Structure 1
């Protein structure tokens, strides 16, 4: 589909989108480690890059995967992109979400449509329901507490996840990401007051007001393995707002590990 360009980020989402689209043009920020072959571009030359997309007949762009804020090299700015510097740098100082929104706005202002992942592959974003196992009443209370925590942290642009066990917050996601958070939890799982009580849940959700055009939370088989190693009971996420990669594999892995998967309304 040559009228669609994929801007690839880190993780398994970009390859899944590339496969679904057939043969899209694939690009990635220079220096980003992606799991799909991609042509690099630099933010310092954003306007010429947009010109290239138009020249190749691209009408729609989809962003897939985690994108780290790049280090800008002032000497590499072309004159037209340089005019955007105050806008982009100002947004970067306000946090990752603001920076991404500023860049996305430039794409759209150039005449490109930005498609969301759930528009391209709606089956990747499950609606409400339990996909594996069955959360207990205590698990449901922990999930509700974790949802409150993630929502409360949203304004600080910190992360998209939290771990709660027996009503206690064991960790919140920050820049190192979900895997690092779960490694920390595994090292401190003994902080649960009752060793025989509820094991705890990983909860994932977008930040309140998050731009859904990019960086929706993602879980998959790797997440299941990490949660199992951390000694938790299951994974909960905001229904209709989290990407589940390799759904059948993820469900089978959860069932094998004795974990529940719950898309919570």
Structure 2
């Protein structure tokens, strides 16, 4: 649906790292909606300074809500990766101290538990947490082939295997991606993220006999079952394709409408230049049997 139909009023964007916070801001501004970006120091890119913005440090929970209220933001998007901070090294403001029991609860449990708790906490304050794909649907990967090259029959078999791996491991709150080559599972994404996983694959392949017949293998990314997609939707960008090429893969397949595409033109152009395919697939996969 068009971004302007979500609701009226300015949208707050809590920005972690990467280009997506600015992409969401551009989309909303183009639709005629005001935005205010709240950048987390040490995480958000300096590029957010091109938009109405406020910087906050980890622990400045009070400042976060004062900023949202002061700029009339009742809806907000939380977008961009962050590293889980060491609470022992954070200086909390008064607003955070009042919420200390909640903050301490975030030290327990996996990512899904933490992110779901954050959403419930924010919405308990009277705000509405929106998914980036809800307010800027054009940033989602569409279904179908996006590149000149498509997957081969062998690639399609690897994609099917990888989809099942991601689906199975996702139920255990383990990652959003997997790499499969010629039927062999080379890696699954854990806490290190997609790029680091692909770097592991590249090292693994260097240590093995040189592959024959050109590029082989696929990266598949999709949300975990029950994942809080409003604040943790998978994303790919040009670097994803570069790392996939370095790992000797033939291409990337992702869940259509469930994965964000950072810098669409650059990502597709990079894939084409490197001779990789990029496709959006139905998700979830067909049930076994």
Please, what TM-score do these two structures have when normalized by structure 2?
0.82
Q: Which residue of structure 2 lines up, in the alignment, with residue 179 of structure 1?
A: 195
Q: Work out the CA distance in 2 between the residues paired with 1:73 and 1:41.
A: 18
- Output the aligned Cα RMSD: 2.5
1:21-36 equivalence runs, <5 A: 21-22=28-29, 24-34=35-45, 35-36=47-48
Q: For residue 3 of structure 2, what is the aligned residue in structure 1?
A: none
Identify the residue that residue 211 of structure 1 maps to in structure 2: 228
1:41-77 per-residue CA deviation (whole Å, 9 max, x = no partner) reads: 2453424521331132111111121122222248844
- Residue 165 of structure 1 and its aligned partner are, at CA, apart by 0.3
Q: Could you list the runs of 5+ residues in structure 1 that have no partner in the other structure?
A: none
- Which of the numbers 242, 246, 252 marks the counterpart of 2:263? 246
SS in 2 for 1:162: strand
Q: Deviations over 1:14-53 (max 9, x none)?
A: 1211222336211123432425235332453424521331
Q: Higher mean Cα deviation, 111-120 or 79-88?
A: 79-88
Residue 151 of structure 1: aligned partner? 167
Number of the residue aligned with 1:160: 176
Give every structure 1 segment of 4 or more consecutive aligned residues whose post-TM-superposition deviation is greater than 6 Å: none
CA-CA distance at 1:126 after TM superposition:
2.5
Q: How many residues are paired up?
A: 265
- The reply to whether residue 188 of structure 1 matches residue 204 of structure 2 is yes
Select between 131-140 and 196-205 the one with higher mean Cα deviation: 196-205
Q: 2:11 aligns with which of 4, 7, 20?
A: 4
Give the Cα separation in 2 of the matches to 1:157 and 1:86.
24
Tell me the CA shift for residue 82 of structure 1. 3.3
- Does 2:30 correspond to 1:13? no
Q: Is the 8 A contact 1:44 1:73 kept in 2?
A: no
Cα displacement string for residues 217-238 of structure 1 (whole angstroms, at most 9, x for unaligned residues): 1112221122112110000011
In the alignment, structure 2 segments of 5+ residues that lack a partner are: 1-7, 283-289
Residue 136 in structure 1 maps to residue 152 in structure 2: yes
Compute the TM-score of the two structures, normalised by the length of structure 1.
Answer: 0.89
1:202 to 219, 224, 238: 219
